[in-house]
Amino acid sequence: MTKRNKIIYWIATGWLSLGMVSTGIVQLLKVKEEADMMTHLGYPLYFLTILGIWKMLGVAAVLIPKFSLLKEWAYAGFFFAMSGAVFSHLVVGDDAKALFGPLLLLTLTVISWYFRPADRKAVSVNQQLVNSLI
C-alpha cells in the first residue's frame, strides 16, 4: 500500500468513524431533533436505538485490527444505512441540505472501504489458495 493510499484511508476512516459515533450517540440519546426527523421520515422511534447501537459496533469493527469479514459487514451496514437515509429524505421531499450528512457519510464509507489496507480485506478461500501456490 502506498503512503498516499494509507493517508487517504486513515483520513476517510477517521472522519467516517467520528461521523458514525457522533450520530450514533445522538440516536441513542434520542435527541429531540433526531426523534423529530425520524418521525418525519416515517420510521418508529425504536429505530434510533437500533441504528445507534449498530453504528457504535460498526465503528469498533472497522477500527480494530483483524476480523476482516466483520469489517466487510460493518462497511455494508454503513452503506445500507446511509443510502437508505438518502433515499428516505428524497422520498419525503426533503431539500438538499437534509441529504448532505448521509451523502458525506456514504462517500466516506466508500472511500474508506476502497482504500483499506490488504490486511483489513476479507480474502476468499480461493484467493488464499492461489496466493499459497505462488
Domain span at residue 47? 3-133
Distance from C-alpha of 45 to C-alpha of 107, rounded to nearest angstrom: 26
Q: What is the pLDDT of residues 67-103, one digit of tens each?
A: 999 999 999 999 999 999 999 999 999 999 999 999 9
**How is residue 2 written as a grid cell?**
502506498
Give the single-character DSSP code of 64: S
- Residue 28 pLDDT > 50: yes
Q: What is the pLDDT of residue 129?
A: 52
Q: What is the pLDDT of residues 48-66, one digit of tens each?
A: 999 999 999 999 999 998 8
- Residue 125 pLDDT > 50: no
Q: pLDDT band at residue 23, thresholds of 50, 70 and 90?
A: very high
Q: What total number of domains does the chain contain?
A: 1
Distance from C-alpha of 25 to C-alpha of 116, rounded to nearest angstrom: 25
